[in-house]
Amino acid sequence: MEKSLTNRQIALILYTTIVGYSISDFPKIASKAAGTGAWVSIIIITIFAILLTYIITKIQLINREKNFYEFNNVLFGRIPSLIIILVFIVYFLVSGSLIVRSYSEIIKISILRETPILAISTVFFMVIYYAVFKKIRVIGSLCEIYGMLSMLGFLFINFLILIKGKVINIKPIFDISEVSTYIKGSKDLIYPFLGMEILFFINLKGKESKSLFRHILGMIVIIGCMYIYVVESAIALVGVEDLVKYNSTTLNIILGIDLESLELFRRLDGLYIMVWTLNIVCACCVWTYGTISFISDICKDKKKYNLICVIVIIASFLISQYPRNIEEAKAIMKINNYIGLILVTIFPIILLITLKVKKYENKKKK
């Protein structure tokens, strides 16, 4: 990574990766977990996500002179660090691959019913290959532009959903007797917040801590607010019972809306797919580049970067075609998310403790 990213680019990379595929399914997940009080659960899990993001960013700043593989090598030794980075490679590779497959299925069902999944996936991977071939600065610029556009797009679309909703559907807004449900429900919302682990491959060399923390942690707060906005809009329109009963996604909800007074935006599904696609493209580029970055850290030969790109894209394409349908893809993604949960919770805490112990030992020797 010869050139570093700006703080805003890092924040928007984080946004597009976390929100990515999750935003459409989030209303039904949150409604099932905590009903009309889902906003409370989202606030709880947002605070937890801020803590995890802070720990990961702190670790990266402490080791800003080394890449992920190098500082793990110093802390744990060659073999353990190799195992750790291989787990990250598999996790990142599967994440990017299955997002492409799942989204390709949705595109086929929604607008390209006669187009084979293979063809849709191929177009996605061609775009991803171009972006990762141009490296992190291009991906950062892509996320900066697409991230802002998708954020504005989601705000506008959910505003139109909200004005069609009913206040009675979001009541009770808060029930003191349901506090335990809100707390328990928050644990089911951790998976849509996965994505801060991408910070492990981003070069923070030369970054000023306060400004970086302000951008990154501020973005987690924005994501939490966005999730609350999206969930409350969906609940206001169809109610908790229908969201859970019919397993409705935001796209399903939008298909049932007809805005007669707004001719240009009468059918929101096309606009929603366009906006969502911006996030999906960015998220897939980030996951794929992360895979390539970790492999490059092991190889230590910059001349092999182009070859690694080709191999990773081919491997990702093959993985994306393995599931027979979207249900299988989501089942594999669920298992992969369990790995992600370990990598974003337990692993950073172990890293931080190990760093503190090493620091104490070095002081003692002096």
Write phi, then psi, for 265 (nearest 5 degrees): -115, 30
pLDDT tens readout for residues 245-286: 878 888 888 877 766 655 555 677 888 999 999 999 999 999
Which residue, 343, 211, 366, 244, is CA-closest to 290?
A: 343
What sign results for the dihedral spanned by CA atoms 351, 193, 136, 316? positive
pLDDT tens readout for residues 32-87: 999 999 999 999 999 999 999 999 999 999 888 888 999 899 889 899 999 999 99
Residues with Cβ within 8 Å of 230's Cβ and at least 6 positions away in sequence, in order, are 23, 26, 27, 154, 158, 250
CA distances, 322 to each of 103, 110, 329 (Å): 15, 22, 8
Asked whether residue 89 is domain-assigned, the answer is yes
- The answer to whether the CB of 280 falls within 8 A of the CB of 142 is no
- The answer to whether the CB of 139 falls within 8 A of the CB of 6 is no
Question: What is the percent of the chain with per-residue pLDDT over 70, rounded to a whole number?
Answer: 96
Asked whether residue 353 is domain-assigned, the answer is yes
Largest CA distance in the chain: 75
Asked whether residue 61 is domain-assigned, the answer is yes
Asked whether residue 284 is domain-assigned, the answer is yes
Asked whether residue 1 is domain-assigned, the answer is no
Asked whether residue 2 is domain-assigned, the answer is no
- Per-residue confidence at 2, pLDDT binned at 50, 70, 90? very low
pLDDT tens readout for residues 103-148: 999 999 888 888 999 999 999 999 999 999 998 999 999 999 999 9
What is the count of structural domains for the chain? 1
CB-CB neighbours of 116 under 10 Å: 11
Confidence at residue 95, expressed as pLDDT on a 0 to 100 scale? 96
Asked whether residue 21 is domain-assigned, the answer is yes
Asked whether residue 358 is domain-assigned, the answer is yes
Q: Please name the amino acid found at residue 100.
A: V
Domain holding 165, by residue range, is 7-365
User: What pTM was computed for the model?
Assistant: 0.92
CATH of the domain at 268: 1.20.1740.10
Q: Reduce the secondary structure of the chain to three states and give it as a string.
A: CCCCCCHHHHHHHHHHHHHCCHHHHHHHHHHHHHHHHHHHHHHHHHHHHHHHHHHHHHHHHHCCCCCHHHHHHHHHCHHHHHHHHHHHHHHHHHHHHHHHHHHHHHHHHHCCCCCCHHHHHHHHHHHHHHHHHCCHHHHHHHHHHHHHHHHHHHHHHHHHHHHCCCHHHHCCCCCHHHHHHHHHHHHHHCHHHCCHHHHHHCCCCCCCHHHHHHHHHHHHHHHHHHHHHHHHHHHHHHHHHHHHHCCCCHHHHHHCCCCCCCCCCCCHHHHHHHHHHHHHHHHHHHHHHHHHHHHHHHHCCHHHHHHHHHHHHHHHHHHHHCCCCHHHHHHHHHHHHHHHHHHHCHHHHHHHHHHHHHHHHHHHHC
pLDDT tens readout for residues 187-236: 999 999 999 999 999 988 777 788 999 999 999 999 999 999 999 999 99
